[in-house]
Every structure is written in C-alpha cells, then in structure tokens.
C-alpha cells in the first residue's frame, strides 16, 4: 500500500507498478500473496513492454503488475 501511495506523488511520475514474487515460496504462501495482490488490483504480467521482446515467463519470478 505504501508503494501505491508513492506512485500517486506527481514527482515520481509512476504509471505502473510491478511486484516480483519468488516462485520458490511455499505454495500456500504464494497462493495467499497472489490472492491478496489480486484484491488490490495486481494481475500477472510479463516484462515484454519494457524489453521489446516476446512475452517470456520467468522460471524464478512471478511478475504481477498494475496501472497506478
């Protein structure tokens, strides 16, 4: 929530926020974290818009993003 508040400050000029979740988390923790982030507005994303590449899925990180 603190990061969302920072994104709203005009001097940061932040339009998107991406959280990187470690796929090595225990399944029950990952499930709860994904659910909680989903309630706030996060959804699974890739880094394709920033890397100008194909939508590659990371074996290590689950990326969840939202527009701010």
Instruction: Name the pTM for this structure.
Output: 0.80
CB atoms within 10 A of CB 63: 16
Strands annotated E in 1-68: 16-22, 43-44, 61-67
**Residue 15: band (very low, low, confident or very high) from pLDDT cuts 50, 70, 90:** confident
Q: Among positive and negative, which fits the CA dihedral 2, 28, 32, 14? A: positive
- Look at residue 61 in the predicted model and tell me its pLDDT: 93
Instruction: Tell whether the model's pLDDT for residue 1 goes beyond 90.
Output: no
- Look at residue 41 in the predicted model and tell me its pLDDT: 94
């Amino acid at each position: 929530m603190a990061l969302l508040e920072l994104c709203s400050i005009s001097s940061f000029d932040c339009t998107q926020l991406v959280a990187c979740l470690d796929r090595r988390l225990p399944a029950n923790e990952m499930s709860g974290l994904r659910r909680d982030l989903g309630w706030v507005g996060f959804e699974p994303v890739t880094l394709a818009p920033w890397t100008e590449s194909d939508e590659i899925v990371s074996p290590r990180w689950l990326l969840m993003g939202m527009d701010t």
